[in-house]
Structure 1
Amino acid sequence: MHNNTKSLRHWRRHVLALLLPLSVITPQSYADFGNYQSHSLTDTQLTIITDEGQLKIAPQGDHALEVHYAPTGVAQLPSFALPEQRATASALSLKNFNDRLELTSQSLKAIIQKHNLTIAYEFKNKPLVAEEAGLFVQDSLRGFRFALTHGEKIIGGGQRVMGMDRRGQRMPLYNKAHYGYKTQSNQMYYSLPAVLSTNKYLLVFDNSASGNLDIGATESDVLQFEAVGGRTSYLIVAGESYPSLIENYTLATGRQPLPPRWAFGNFASRFGYRTEQEVRDTLAAYREHDFPVDALVLDLYWFGKDIKGHMGNLEWDRKAFPNPTAMMADLKKAGVKTVLITEPFILTSSSRWQEAVENDVLAQNAAGKPKTFNFYFGNTGLIDVFHRPAQHWFWSVYQNLMLQGVDGWWGDLGEPEVHPDDTLHRLPERVAAGSEVHNVYGHQWAKLVYDQQRKHFPDTRPLVMMRAGFAGSQRFGFIPWTGDVARSWAGLKPQVELSLQMSLLGLAYTHSDLGGFAGGETFDQELYVRWLQYGVFQPVYRPHAQDNIAPEPVFHDQTTRDLVRPFVKLRYQLFPYNYTLAYENSTRGMPLMRPLFFEDESAPALIDNSTSYLWGDAFLVTPVTEAGIKSVSVQLPKGVWFDYFSGQRYRGGQIIEQPTELATLPVLVRAGSFIPMVAATQSTRDYDSSQLTLHYYHDKTVERAHGKMYEDDGRNPNALRDGQFELLSFNAKQLRNRLDISLSHAGGYSGQPPQRNIKLVVHNQSRKPRRVALEGESVPFAYDGDAQRLIVPFNWQHQNLTVSIH
């Protein structure tokens, strides 16, 4: 005990010495990593000893390398970006020359200069990127410098509103709330020390400390990462295409587990429901006005009647919610899940303050006492989510609430919103200052909730909605949102940029508070409708706002309800398509929202387009972000595209003006797309794909097309691992006088439909067919000449079959 106490005191002195202000480093202050002395190689790691310290390079999959510089005497932290179970890779090979070492994985080569050690990288024998001065370490700063090439565009840095190409920007790496943001923000809730280049490499600086990311701002040809402490390590990833680059990155940092089926439904949410009766009345309104709903989110009033003074109670206010267990059971009977907000702050005025102190739950000050400070909600301490006793205590709260009936978690204020730099956290390795682990606090909090739920409730899929995290947080079922956006057109404008920037770095479920959260004095029907229309084609459908204006459509007038209802139901109809996007994300890392530059990698200018995006491969969506407009400009990728609502055909490779009205959203469908759909239900609990409508968007310019549909029971967390799923495949082949559409099936799961009644809908069928055959036998069909649409109903028992349209 005496030695442990002495060690804690040592680390407290060390971390307090780190609390110096950030400054811009001048080139003269750089130190190199010394000169090569020796090396050793195994199948999985190269270790180099220099006169300045030790360098380790290890593959993370076949297309990524972890590069960890460990200067002598410089304190390190563990990796947070990489999972404990590392991606497997082919064996390394090494060539030793007089002036350099050349380390080769399957596709990446690291060329390590022995004198004034720096590293350059090649991908498949072509130059990729190089350290400009490599590692630098000062008394108060440490980091890396990389060379930028002429014309290179850079995405990265996480949530910012500054345009898609971040080159020329210097941005703080410090997760920080930006209440009521609009069309500009250099610092927000979820910063990421990571960049993606048009040269098709991805760099992640695996350092959780406060810092800056300078992407050619101070020096136009230098990318510089700098931080006040933390781990001197980075991950370099390469790929032949942008999708393969993201696939390789998520293989290294971890893939998003499949969310529960209900996560794709409609959420009832506001700030906030104050009583059990208000909860019941809200769900009654959803049923009365014929709106599907899958989840109800309770904000901070579940544990206190006022905004201030109660945070940290983490227990039901029994005056407002007299029987929460029965309430949540009734919600479940109606197909509605309960999601609770929790925060990591324990106020000194809360009912659990003394319990938290006695159980050693709180982060400490330099004297080893609970660190307290003031913020908006009161005088508080902060749960030390890095400290094992605190983790055990915090999880016991979650476990008890889950036993009562809670289904999902909303972690708020997890930047943390207020986090003094001299707060001390106890990691297993050592004590760390708040400034060293600030950016990974939400990541660690999510890991705690996710890991413990998987352990104690192994038959459930965690839903962990968090406002802040780190690189790799996606592996904890992490669902971020874009924070307290202004309830205005200016707040709606940057939402595509924010979601794309996050999705391209693994955080594919980033979404916005539909309708906007902050402010707004009067109800703007057009803004509200446009935002909720956009929500159909974003990862999570969750209207949420301050309740001076109702965020739920059921509390607005009939005209508003009638405008919004078809879109909420469309969300449910599209579930088979959307769930297949989730499958692609969990197996390959592909984002659900995809940028247009995926379509033409030879046109880097497309990186700047954040007004339109792809929802999967089939849909091209352009949210309406201005009032009163009758059309939007859309930059069409190559191919043929159809207006989803009117059927209008457009030739790709041009900019069009796509008409719109308040009852429609500018959505296009790619020719050659298969879109499986079902009837809308009151909740996804009632989802049934035994009656399946399969849309195919036919065009004679598309000779062959392929689509798929993923399905499992929506609950089993091990469905992918254990093969408890089915994958339906659809193929189209255009022949001279015939269109063949074939269906096939693989796999299966308990409870799957034994057969399906298919309604095949072929769009852009300009003439009535003279014959439609199923496996060579003529079958009845319907043809709508005005809509140019062919409908072929048939029963499918999962055998391979072909529909031939003559």
Structure 2
Amino acid sequence: MLKPIKIAIIPILSIFLSLNVFAQTSPLSCSSYELNGRNVVFGCENEAKLSLEFLDSQNIKFWYAPNGEFTRNNESFAVVNEEFDPEFSVDVKENPSNFEIFTGDLRVMVHKKPFKIQIFDRYQRLVIGDMDGEAYVTEGAKTETRKVLRDEEQFFGLGEKTGPLNRRGRSFTMWNSDKPCYSDTEDPLYKSIPFFMSTYNYGIFFDNTYKTEFDFGKKSDEYFSFSAPDGAFIYYFMYGKDLKEVIKSYTKLTGQPIMPPNWALGWSQSRGMLVTEDLTRGIAAEYRKREIPIDIIYQDIGWVEGLQNFEWREDRYDDPKKMLSDLAEDGIKVIISQDPVISQAVEDQWQEAAKNGYLVNDVRTGKPYDMPWPWGGNAGVVDFTNPEVADWWGELQQKPLDDGVKGFWTDMGEPAWTNEESTDRLFMKHHKGMHAEIHNVYGLEWDRVVTEQFEKRNPNQRVFQMTRAAYAGMQRYTFGWSGDSGNGRDVTDGWENLADQVPMGMSAGLGLIPFWTTDISGYCGEITDYEEFSELYVRWLQFGIFNPLSRVHHEGNNAVEPWLFGEEAEKISKAAIELKYQLHPYIYTYAREAYDTGLPIMRPLLLEYASDEETYELNDQFLFGEELLIAPVVEEGVTYRQVYLPKGNWRDYNDPAKSFKGRQTIDYDTPLNVIPMFVKEGAIIPKMPIMPYIGAMNNAPMILEIFPAAKPSEFTLYEDEGTTNDYQKDHFAKTKIESKTTSSEVLVTINEPQVNNFNNDEKRNFWLEIFLEEKPTEVKFDDKVLSETSFRELKKKWNTIFDVSGYHYDAEASRLFIRLPDNKQKQLISIHK
């Protein structure tokens, strides 16, 4: 009897490695060049080529081709503009050992051997430089670039990543992943934003959608690197006088962020099982009964009858159209969830999608990929890279929009359960390529279709869309939230999870996600003792109101309405939400700045105080716009916290009589009802009265809160219609308000508004609240002496009578209140000491 013969099966990869097929190569010399206008291509050994395309004098596109061929599978998913200066051109000066290119702002030196590129600023200071002989290291299809790492260099960015704001000494991977209840060291997460910035005032956007990696000195203290396992090796170098200028260049490259509807900057309520008409109506009624402002109620995926037919579940909604209409009359908008799949259980839709090629195929079978889905059974993944899918999906999603729904949150777009370990998903073939290339842009393509179809079918209406999984360029279509945060093992022990959301939100902003929110309360964990959880809930909410989009959300049927956590928690939460509504004109003005420049509303201090190295490590405080500094409490049971105040003079917003000089750390008392909040001296903060929802009060006064300083200051208030896309045509009103203090008086100037195709005729009053430590001797409005009156009389009918002016001084609060009509002309208020 013959014995079976055991045959050793050697993996093909091992054979390749033994033959050195994947041996590392790096061009050691580049000795020739071709110049065409603003594009220079350098010829290197082993047929490698490197293209430098100068977008203008500060921004350069690098494309390294190891085989000398500048080809790519797809045009960029992120880049929408390379025409920074179409007339720009360069000259190349060849020297014996190098080539030199001068742009006016930069000096680019290309060393012939060993090959490397160094970029200097106009003062001959090194901005960035390659490692000798290791500028580009290729191994098989993988390429890595290595840049010299300097001792003092710090890095920020990569969008929504966990951990400290400063990325120095850490490494990161871009692979959109569903990681519920993630820790502060978890990586990768939901979004891939391969854009970072250095304290040497440059940024890098690595435009490669594969599973790229970034190392900021973790494996070597000599260099930092970024690499891609496949695909075209393209990156953009952006230089500026500061990081704000770099962000503006990145915005110009990848597109401006859309503005949300004005009501989207209000308060919103959600939970995993908020998926019935009765519950939705009940929550809305309770908010109004308790006089807590709210604009949005979300419906999670359980609203839908089947994934994803966009039909309401009949057993959960009696009359969804009437529900939506009734809620709208009360100022409440409904946002619904959608998933990017078609369940096999929804047979008609499944057959239609499969027949028409709307689903991602399995390359092994040529049939739709069989995707296990967390609910609804196995499903097909909709192929949003297929142009034919767009109108089909648009028609489907329009059904609830026609019912009265106001927008979507696109969930599970990684697509869910397609994490690093899910290698079987790599057999998915999309219209635009294999999944290894498309994975990180799958959510982006979905969001693109959702927004483009919304705008096609709802002309000139602003889209509301908030997403979990995305890639660079997402800001053109959608907003973001940070996914499933919180402690799933013990919901009350989520303090570290809360603390991690603060730098994550700041980093999201640096990655051009200016409209962002955490899941307030944390998504994960069963809430079994509301009293025990109340402190964490309150502190999360106090941070969350300073997220541009503020949504409270939790998993399953864990209710997280403010009144559930006790009377004290409800009172504190209500006051915090009311503060958000009061600050709406201020927030909305910065929303416009985000659209114009890409600068975030919630921003790390280093953006405004780049020369202050203390700001590099501030992970638990941030600026809200330029004038407000927020230092949320993220530790349990603390009675005070330390706050770093940057350069300048700052006042305690909660008690403006307290003033602090900057460049120091102070101890600040933090009882549960207090949010550490500081305002820059000289600041002018536009506000509105507390309202149950955005726009609830007709002819509302424009409140101007002013903190006079010796140095003149100004603020330009931005206003537009609020819900249309006319802002993209610059239809708006801008009003510059100025403040100046002398030894004898405080002068406030409200300039004539700059109006462009915007109806600015609505009557209203200006209501000034000026911090003033002593009662004035006289208050004049355009040379007319104003009369002093009681606060009650001054405020009476402030949104219905528009020919009354006067003032009141509150000595206890050190506040001067002035009322005057907005006559749409230049107005001067003089306050004599």
Give me the TM-score of the superposition, normalised by structure 1: 0.91
Alpha-carbon distance in 1 for matches of 2:15, 2:74:
18
Alpha-carbon distance in 2 for matches of 1:19, 1:673:
65
What residue in structure 2 maps to residue 401 of structure 1?
400
Change (3 A) 1:690 1:286: closer
Q: Which of 661, 679, 683 is the aligned partner of 2:689?
A: 679
Change (3 A) 1:185 1:424: closer
Shift in Å, 1:47: 4.4
Residue 513, structure 1, aligned to residue 519, structure 2: yes
Shift in Å, 1:334: 2.1
Alpha-carbon distance in 2 for matches of 1:218, 1:675:
46
What residue in structure 1 maps to residue 449 of structure 2?
448
Alpha-carbon distance in 1 for matches of 2:108, 2:459:
42
What residue in structure 1 maps to residue 802 of structure 2?
none
What residue in structure 2 maps to residue 288 of structure 1?
289
1:476-625 pair list within 5 angstroms: 476-486=477-487, 487=491, 488-521=494-527, 522-523=529-530, 524-625=533-634
Change (3 A) 1:348 1:104: farther
Describe the superposition over 1:462-489 as per-residue Cα deviations: whole angstroms up to 9, x where unpaired: 1221112122221223333343333422
Alpha-carbon distance in 2 for matches of 1:152, 1:113:
23
Change (3 A) 1:157 1:681: same
Q: Which of 121, 124, 128 is the aligned partner of 1:123?
A: 121
Bigger CA drift: 771-780 or 619-628?
771-780
Which has the higher Rg, Structure 1 or Structure 2?
A: 2
1:345-360 pair list within 5 angstroms: 345-351=341-347, 352-360=349-357
Change (3 A) 1:19 1:228: farther
Describe the superposition over 1:729-774 as per-residue Cα deviations: whole angstroms up to 9, x where unpaired: 11111222122111112114544344431121111x1221111112
What residue in structure 1 maps to residue 359 of structure 2?
362
Change (3 A) 1:86 1:400: farther
What residue in structure 1 maps to residue 151 of structure 2?
150
Q: CA RMSD in A?
A: 2.7
Describe the superposition over 1:172-206 as per-residue Cα deviations: whole angstroms up to 9, x where unpaired: 22111221124432322223322211111111110
Shift in Å, 1:671: 0.8
1:33-112 pair list within 5 angstroms: 35-42=30-37, 44-48=38-42, 52-60=47-55, 63-72=58-67, 76-83=73-80, 86-88=83-85, 91-98=88-95, 99-105=97-103, 107-112=105-110
Amino acid at match of 1:495: Q
Please, which runs of 5 or more residues in structure 2 have no aligned partner?
A: 1-11, 419-423, 788-806
Amino acid at match of 1:779: L
Residues 446, 478 of structure 1: 8 Å contact kept = no
SS at match of 2:820: strand
Change (3 A) 1:101 1:397: farther
Change (3 A) 1:117 1:355: farther
SS at match of 2:471: coil
Residues 359, 393 of structure 1: 8 Å contact kept = no
SS at match of 2:398: helix
Shift in Å, 1:510: 2.5
Alpha-carbon distance in 1 for matches of 2:735, 2:444:
35
Shift in Å, 1:714: 0.1
Shift in Å, 1:298: 0.9
In the alignment of these two chains, the number of paired residues is 775
Amino acid at match of 1:668: F
SS at match of 2:79: coil
Give me the TM-score of the superposition, normalised by structure 2: 0.88
Shift in Å, 1:633: 0.5
Alpha-carbon distance in 1 for matches of 2:504, 2:745:
45
Alpha-carbon distance in 1 for matches of 2:241, 2:81:
27
Q: Which of 657, 662, 666 is the aligned partner of 2:672?
A: 662
Alpha-carbon distance in 1 for matches of 2:729, 2:174:
39
Describe the superposition over 1:402-430 as per-residue Cα deviations: whole angstroms up to 9, x where unpaired: 23322211111112223344233444xxx
Residue 372, structure 1, aligned to residue 362, structure 2: no
What residue in structure 1 maps to residue 8 of structure 2?
none
Residues 273, 557 of structure 2: 8 Å contact kept = no
Amino acid at match of 1:435: A
1:722-741 pair list within 5 angstroms: 722-741=729-748
Amino acid at match of 2:382: I
Residue 411, structure 1, aligned to residue 410, structure 2: yes
What residue in structure 1 maps to residue 386 of structure 2?
387
SS at match of 1:326: helix
What residue in structure 1 maps to residue 755 of structure 2?
747
Alpha-carbon distance in 2 for matches of 1:226, 1:733:
53
Q: Which of 626, 647, 668 is the aligned partner of 1:638?
A: 647
Alpha-carbon distance in 2 for matches of 1:619, 1:257:
24
Alpha-carbon distance in 1 for matches of 2:715, 2:14:
54
What residue in structure 1 maps to residue 427 of structure 2?
423
Residue 331, structure 1, aligned to residue 341, structure 2: no
Residues 286, 554 of structure 1: 8 Å contact kept = no
Q: Which of 738, 752, 769 is the aligned partner of 2:776?
A: 769
Shift in Å, 1:621: 0.7
Residues 212, 227 of structure 2: 8 Å contact kept = yes
Residues 18, 229 of structure 1: 8 Å contact kept = no
Alpha-carbon distance in 1 for matches of 2:13, 2:545:
46
Q: Which of 305, 308, 311 is the aligned partner of 2:307?
A: 311
Alpha-carbon distance in 1 for matches of 2:72, 2:146:
20
Alpha-carbon distance in 2 for matches of 1:388, 1:347:
21
Amino acid at match of 2:427: T
Alpha-carbon distance in 2 for matches of 1:219, 1:572:
48
Alpha-carbon distance in 2 for matches of 1:759, 1:405:
36
Alpha-carbon distance in 2 for matches of 1:167, 1:101:
31
SS at match of 1:248: helix
Shift in Å, 1:579: 0.2
Amino acid at match of 2:152: G
Alpha-carbon distance in 2 for matches of 1:396, 1:165:
44
Alpha-carbon distance in 2 for matches of 1:388, 1:414:
18
Amino acid at match of 1:397: L
Alpha-carbon distance in 2 for matches of 1:264, 1:651:
32
Shift in Å, 1:607: 0.9
Alpha-carbon distance in 1 for matches of 2:81, 2:745:
53
What residue in structure 1 maps to residue 421 of structure 2?
none
Amino acid at match of 1:541: S
Residues 674, 708 of structure 1: 8 Å contact kept = no
Bigger CA drift: 71-80 or 435-444?
71-80
SS at match of 1:493: helix
Aligned-pair identity in percent equals 27
SS at match of 2:245: helix
Amino acid at match of 1:205: F
Alpha-carbon distance in 1 for matches of 2:587, 2:410:
25
Describe the superposition over 1:28-55 as per-residue Cα deviations: whole angstroms up to 9, x where unpaired: 723228635441312x544455563554
Please, which runs of 5 or more residues in structure 1 have no aligned partner?
A: 1-16, 305-309
Shift in Å, 1:446: 1.4
Residues 363, 423 of structure 1: 8 Å contact kept = no
Amino acid at match of 1:123: D
SS at match of 1:542: strand
What residue in structure 2 maps to residue 803 of structure 1?
829
